[in-house]
Chains A and B, each alone.
Chain A
């Protein structure tokens, strides 16, 4: 029994190390000088410096504009997505919607599309209408993954609300809009918050669309990571610092929404499936 406990303990510790290692090592690297990064054997004890963070935030290769780009794209995408997804999810989950099955199936199918299949036509379309490297262009493209995802996640939350509450409101002749606004939405507050977090997270982390359809004006933080990599040399310490700064928002959000993450990741699983 002693041995079993030891094995279990070792297994759990190993898991912790493997999952957290790249991030913790990235954090350590971001505090090293470029020379210490390349030391062999790798240094665990070193004199920490905040120089990389200073360079990455305020130096010549500052990623502050990129953080701004990411924030603008992610916030706009999230806001638009919720505006369209909440009513649609309510209709899909609660109302007698014509062609309800087919509609749900269609939304599900759009969620499965491989992004590379969308980025090629969008590259040509946005070029034609002059929307490459613009916020409206990138947000439009981000809706392709955010909207189906949000609709399915919200449907699963709306379905949990007891029907009686809504029926009572309707019997009071409250009107459908009022029932939605005063009964459903407050009940689904938690689900809506989780959906907002996930849509924001997915938008913030997106890379393929951003690298192809962005440019010098709209250059998100995931694309800006490559500022520190060039053929001649790679500034690993600065790259690590940029990654730490760029990932801080999503790590924080992930920890906040930790309990709901399984549900968010299995979005639509009850009914069908999902992407991320």
Chain B
């Protein structure tokens, strides 16, 4: 039987099925990104349209001396790092805890869905108004009742950063929890029986059995949470708008404010390009790491 005939047919068929989506992706994502690069080489100030023109690498040169850029870069690293670590540690802790409880697991799974399906902008607004607001926010009531006094959670630069990190962690820890719980539930119980017979303590069982077995799941969670944290926007926008001042202005917020508040699109595009390069480098770095194992 000649094998080329049907195989060539299959390849043609596969191409015909895949090409429309692929072309659409090229047109909707790659073309705009090329345009983003082009924009980052321009001077485009909508407030000063007469200055529009090719600027070469000027925007990037300007970035080097821009203190707001370096601070937003640092904030991005802090925000991404802390939220990811918190989500994994808290999520894993909770999953281990819940594994001990049989009853109520279903209820918890449903509760965990709630933050995840909520629009980040709504999560940001809820936290801003109901939890963190001075005077009538619930947290203010709790700290006052405990005698700790009143805090301006979103008005103080350092507390604002803590707050937006808390909001992100609140919204996405259930994700880490659900994935890790699923992975823990799939572990073979007889392994633990053997370990118990060998008189391994709980910490040893966790360190030498559980952790290595769920490591793939942890890596997946880290990768996915990292990408989400790097593209976080709406919750911070709703809670602080990047403020006070630029205290919670991660690169996303900075690029947005530059482009659409200060109307300096060329410079904003340069910031967005830096973010793009960082995001892709981090994601593919993590993938390479994962594949290397």
Whether the pair B135, A148 counts as a contact (CB closer than 8 A) is no
Whether the pair A115, B228 counts as a contact (CB closer than 8 A) is no
Is B89 part of the binding interface, using a Cβ–Cβ cutoff of 8 Å? Answer: no
Is A95 part of the binding interface, using a Cβ–Cβ cutoff of 8 Å? Answer: yes
Whether the pair A236, B129 counts as a contact (CB closer than 8 A) is yes
Would A116 and B11 be within 8 Å (CB), given that A26-B126, A243-B122 are in contact?
no
Whether the pair A112, B114 counts as a contact (CB closer than 8 A) is no
Q: With A and B bound together, what is the CA distance between A204 and B101 in angstroms? A: 35
Q: With A and B bound together, what is the CA distance between A119 and B269 in angstroms? A: 10
Whether the pair B272, A114 counts as a contact (CB closer than 8 A) is yes
Whether the pair B13, A95 counts as a contact (CB closer than 8 A) is yes
Query: B44 contacts which chain A residues (CB < 8 A)?
Result: 124
Whether the pair B233, A96 counts as a contact (CB closer than 8 A) is no
Q: With A and B bound together, what is the CA distance between A39 and B57 in angstroms? A: 55
Q: A219-230 CB contact bits vs B (8 Å, 1 = yes)?
A: 000100100010
Whether the pair A207, B36 counts as a contact (CB closer than 8 A) is no
Is A103 part of the binding interface, using a Cβ–Cβ cutoff of 8 Å? Answer: yes
For the A-B complex, the count of residue pairs with Cβ-Cβ distances under 8 Å equals 279
Is A135 part of the binding interface, using a Cβ–Cβ cutoff of 8 Å? Answer: no
Whether the pair B114, A251 counts as a contact (CB closer than 8 A) is yes
Q: With A and B bound together, what is the CA distance between A112 and B94 in angstroms? A: 28
Would A12 and B112 be within 8 Å (CB), given that A207-B234, A236-B129 are in contact?
no
Whether the pair B123, A8 counts as a contact (CB closer than 8 A) is no
Whether the pair B174, A19 counts as a contact (CB closer than 8 A) is yes
Query: B214 contacts which chain A residues (CB < 8 A)?
Result: none
Whether the pair B20, A275 counts as a contact (CB closer than 8 A) is no
Is A194 part of the binding interface, using a Cβ–Cβ cutoff of 8 Å? Answer: no
Whether the pair B121, A121 counts as a contact (CB closer than 8 A) is no
Is A141 part of the binding interface, using a Cβ–Cβ cutoff of 8 Å? Answer: yes
Q: A97-125 CB contact bits vs B (8 Å, 1 = yes)?
A: 11000010011011011111111111111
Write the chain A residue with the least CB distance to B274.
Answer: A117
Is A199 part of the binding interface, using a Cβ–Cβ cutoff of 8 Å? Answer: no
Is B191 part of the binding interface, using a Cβ–Cβ cutoff of 8 Å? Answer: no
Would A120 and B36 be within 8 Å (CB), given that A12-B101, A151-B21 are in contact?
yes
Contact among B111, B170, B224 for A273, CB-based, below 8 A? B224
Q: B253-281 CB contact bits vs A (8 Å, 1 = yes)?
A: 00110011000010011001101100110
Would A266 and B39 be within 8 Å (CB), given that A95-B14, A236-B129 are in contact?
no
Is B60 part of the binding interface, using a Cβ–Cβ cutoff of 8 Å? Answer: no
Query: B39 contacts which chain A residues (CB < 8 A)?
Result: 120-121, 124
Query: A125 contacts which chain B residues (CB < 8 A)?
Result: 32, 35
Would A273 and B122 be within 8 Å (CB), given that A117-B273, A207-B237 are in contact?
no
Query: B131 contacts which chain A residues (CB < 8 A)?
Result: 21-22, 25
Is A215 part of the binding interface, using a Cβ–Cβ cutoff of 8 Å? Answer: no
CB proximity to A under 8 Å, residues B6-20 = 7, 10-11, 13-15, 17-18, 20
Is B162 part of the binding interface, using a Cβ–Cβ cutoff of 8 Å? Answer: no
* Minimum distance in angstroms from A87 CB to a CB of chain B: 4
Is A174 part of the binding interface, using a Cβ–Cβ cutoff of 8 Å? Answer: no
Query: B114 contacts which chain A residues (CB < 8 A)?
Result: 19-20, 23, 251, 254
Provide a sorted-by-A list of 22 A–B residue pairs whose CB atoms are within 8 angstroms.
A16-B111, A19-B115, A20-B114, A21-B131, A26-B126, A84-B24, A87-B21, A95-B10, A97-B11, A109-B280, A112-B227, A113-B29, A115-B231, A118-B29, A119-B259, A140-B28, A144-B32, A205-B119, A206-B119, A207-B120, A243-B126, A273-B286
- Assuming A112-B279, A116-B272, A253-B117, what are 11 further A-B pairs, CB within 8 angstroms? A18-B170, A40-B141, A91-B13, A109-B280, A114-B275, A116-B256, A120-B255, A120-B269, A207-B234, A251-B118, A258-B110
